[in-house]
Amino acid sequence: MVQPTQSSKFMTLVRQIHEGEQSHPGATGEFSDLLHGLSLAAKLVWREVTKAGLVNILGKTDRLNISGDEVKKLDEFADETIFKMMDHVGHLCVMASEENEDLLHIPEHYPQGRYALIYDPLDGSSNIDANVTIGSIFSIHRRVSREGKGTMDDVLQPGHKQVAAGYILYGSSMMFVYCAGHGVHGFTLDPTVGEFLLSHENIRIPPRGSIYSVNEGNIGRWKPEMQRYVQYLKQEDKETGRPYSSRYIGSLVADVHRTLLYGGIYCYPGDTRSPEGKLRLMYENNPLAYIVEHAGGAASDGRQRILDIQPDSLHQRSPLFVGSVEEVRLA
């Protein structure tokens, strides 16, 4: 028999966002709508991802995206799905997607809202054919322009101004991890009922870790100090817990998710070929830095906090060192 005092374990994503909003006087429910829209888009993407081996969707299209990467059909599907799911909600004034060179404006027949959405529709897409975990990443800013169509200023804001950020993992299960300023929460999709259920409440990253994650194939192009750092992590030393273990999936969202849960560090440094590294500040580094910082970790470009970088272009890159506080400090 159900006891009236028994706490409910069935905390769905929508319920948690809703309850969070209710605890803030004056909340308008816009956030619930935005996150709900994103979670719905993610379910549609997940449906295609799980079908990827079955239907002829794995072929590459014959063009490159704005960052020069090969675009696969699933990237396009995810890109369009997120846009179409979010364009009419009425709370956004503009969007920006990693797959598109310019801002994505809200069609004129829909109302313009108070927020700007920045997203990477399918991160780690070079792993699709190998059935490796991939993901979508999002970042939400409050608009700074007063009214009408959103502008570049609404999007080009430093990461510390994000009002929410998160990612969706398409892996052995599907997860929705987000933070709207009050803790980082992870929800796992129960496919039998189609609902995201709270599985990881208030995630905290361990202050130290013993895993490092970096594409070591690039070592010859790194600066000597970066080479020395990784050599140091590999040396034997009982007191400091070295050598660290090496783990690199090559799918940023999956590598950062593991780092968030187990601790350690993920690095994508600059090198002689790409001085600012490979990762994009607005679509990847800012939202992931926001999540990790809110879970008690840190994120730096090697010179300054990621969230303090003032962006000057939509697709700019930055080096990334993200993870446990102590590990990022050491790096």
Residues that bind ligand FDP (CB under 6 A): 69, 123-127, 215, 250-252, 278-279, 284
> Least distance in Å: CB of 19 to ligand FDP?
33
Q: Which of 13, 38, 74, 120 is catalytic?
A: 120
Q: How many residues does the chain have?
A: 331
What CA–CA distance (Å, rounded) separates 277 from 274? Answer: 5
> Least distance in Å: CB of 189 to ligand FDP?
21
Kindly tell me which of 27 and 64 has the beta carbon lying closer to ligand FDP.
64
Kindly tell me which of 232 and 248 has the beta carbon lying closer to ligand FDP.
248
Q: What is the helix, strand, coil percentage profile of the chain, to 5?
A: 35, 25, 40
Q: Are 45 and 170 in contact (CB under 8 A)?
A: yes
Beta bridge partners of 128: none
Kindly tell me which of 124 and 264 has the beta carbon lying closer to ligand FDP.
124
Could you confirm whether 98 is annotated as catalytic? yes
Q: Which two tokens stand for residue 241?
A: 């817990």
Q: Are 91 and 30 in contact (CB under 8 A)?
A: yes
What CA–CA distance (Å, rounded) separates 92 from 119? Answer: 13
Structure-derived torsion over alpha carbons of residues 283, 257, 200, 288, reported in degrees to the nearest 10 = -30
> Least distance in Å: CB of 290 to ligand FDP?
17
Kindly tell me which of 31 and 119 has the beta carbon lying closer to ligand FDP.
119
> Least distance in Å: CB of 69 to ligand FDP?
5
Could you confirm whether 87 is annotated as catalytic? no
| Residue owning tokens 């709508």 | 33
> Least distance in Å: CB of 89 to ligand FDP?
27
Could you confirm whether 75 is annotated as catalytic? yes
Q: Are 66 and 104 in contact (CB under 8 A)?
A: no
Q: Are 95 and 102 in contact (CB under 8 A)?
A: no
Kindly tell me which of 117 and 322 has the beta carbon lying closer to ligand FDP.
322
Could you confirm whether 326 is annotated as catalytic? no
Could you confirm whether 120 is annotated as catalytic? yes
CB neighbourhood size of 310 (10 A): 8
> Least distance in Å: CB of 213 to ligand FDP?
9
Q: Which of 154, 284, 301, 327 is catalytic?
A: 284
Could you confirm whether 69 is annotated as catalytic? yes
Please provide the DSSP assignment of 151-163 as one string: -HHHH---GGGEE
Q: Which of 75, 271, 301, 327 is catalytic?
A: 75
Kindly tell me which of 189 and 320 has the beta carbon lying closer to ligand FDP.
320
On the CB side of 187, CA atoms within 13 Å amount to 28
What residues act catalytically? 69, 75, 98-99, 120, 122-123, 284
